[in-house]
């Protein structure tokens, strides 16, 4: 009987009524986003200081399930009595233990080129005026498509006493975060363009109706 792989979630298919269960997407990019938001590791242990040491990232299989408890309501489309998960939906609701919750750093944010380019691109995308400003009823894309900018404040000034292996692991994690953010940025920009096109089409229809009156 499939069980939800969400952290601290005990829902199981067939036992929990009213909660849908979803397979992980076949699309590699979308599956990677689900796994990244899941923040699940094959082995998680605490060191003597109570900090969480994470080893070997979780790998989702074809039969891995995630229940609907971890998705926002606007990640679904409703047709009659049926609710279907949108293709672009990403899980964002999780009950993480304190060791897996990312905190916002108060120190100086990273100054590496890739992070700055991503941040500048996000700001430019948010400040660029478009047809969507013509109405306040514009439907927003699924909240799961929003980019967590707090990741940009991740600490990068590593202690020189760290071993080369730990430094390499931190470097790999940082590169992975940058790649995920680039993919998310592309996705959000694509969604914004779709909304602009939709608004333009609706505006043209309204103008034609006004001309006929």
pLDDT at 69 over 60: yes
Q: How far apart are CA 146 and CA 140, in angstroms?
A: 10
Q: Are 62 and 23 in contact (CB under 8 A)?
A: yes
Tens of pLDDT, residue by residue over 135-187, are 444 444 444 444 444 444 444 444 455 678 888 888 888 888 888 888 889 88
Q: State the DSSP code for 4.
A: B
Q: What is the Cα gyration radius of the chain?
A: 21
Residue 105 pLDDT greater than 60, yes or no: no
The pair of three-digit structure tokens given for residue 56, joined into one six-digit string: 């070997």
End-to-end distance of the chain based on CA atoms, in angstroms?
Answer: 60
Q: How far is CA 10 from the centre of its chain?
A: 22
Place of tokens 């941040």: 119
A 10 A CB-CB count for 58 gives: 16
Torsion of the alpha carbons at 153, 159, 164 and 167, rounded to the nearest 10? -10
- Own/partner contacts of 156-159, CB < 8 Å, gap of 24 or more, are 156/110, 156/112, 157/107, 157/108
77 CB-near residues (< 8 Å, 6+ apart): 83, 84, 86
The residue count of the chain comes to 213
Quote the Cα angle for 55-60-115, to 5°. 65
For residue range 12-37, list pLDDT tens digits in order. 876 667 788 888 988 888 888 888 88
Closest CA to 156 of 175, 137, 143, 128: 175
Q: Please state, for a pLDDT cut of 70, what percent of the chain lies above it.
A: 59
Residue found by looking up tokens 């779709």 in the block: 194
**Of the segments 22-31, 39-48, 56-65, 131-140, which one has the largest average pLDDT value?**
22-31
């Amino acid at each position: 009987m499939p069980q939800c792989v969400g952290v601290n979630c005990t829902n199981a298919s067939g036992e929990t009524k009213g909660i849908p269960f979803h397979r992980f997407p076949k699309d590699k990019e979308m599956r990677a986003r689900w796994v990244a938001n899941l923040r699940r590791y094959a082995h998680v242990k605490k060191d003597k200081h109570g900090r969480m040491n994470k080893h070997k990232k979780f790998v989702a299989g074809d039969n891995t399930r995630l229940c609907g408890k971890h998705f926002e309501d606007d990640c679904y489309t409703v047709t009659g009595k049926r609710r279907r998960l949108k293709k672009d939906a990403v899980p964002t609701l999780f009950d993480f233990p304190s060791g897996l919750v990312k905190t916002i750093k108060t120190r100086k944010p990273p100054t590496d080129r890739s992070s700055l380019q991503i941040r500048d691109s996000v700001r430019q995308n948010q400040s660029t005026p478009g047809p969507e400003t013509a109405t306040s009823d514009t439907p927003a894309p699924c909240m799961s498509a929003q980019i967590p900018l707090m990741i940009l404040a991740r600490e990068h000034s590593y202690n020189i006493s760290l071993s080369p292996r730990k430094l390499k692991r931190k470097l790999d994690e940082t590169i992975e975060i940058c790649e995920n953010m680039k993919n998310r940025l592309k996705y959000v920009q694509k969604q914004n363009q779709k909304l602009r096109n939709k608004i333009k089409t609706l505006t043209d229809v309204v103008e034609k109706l006004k001309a006929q009156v």
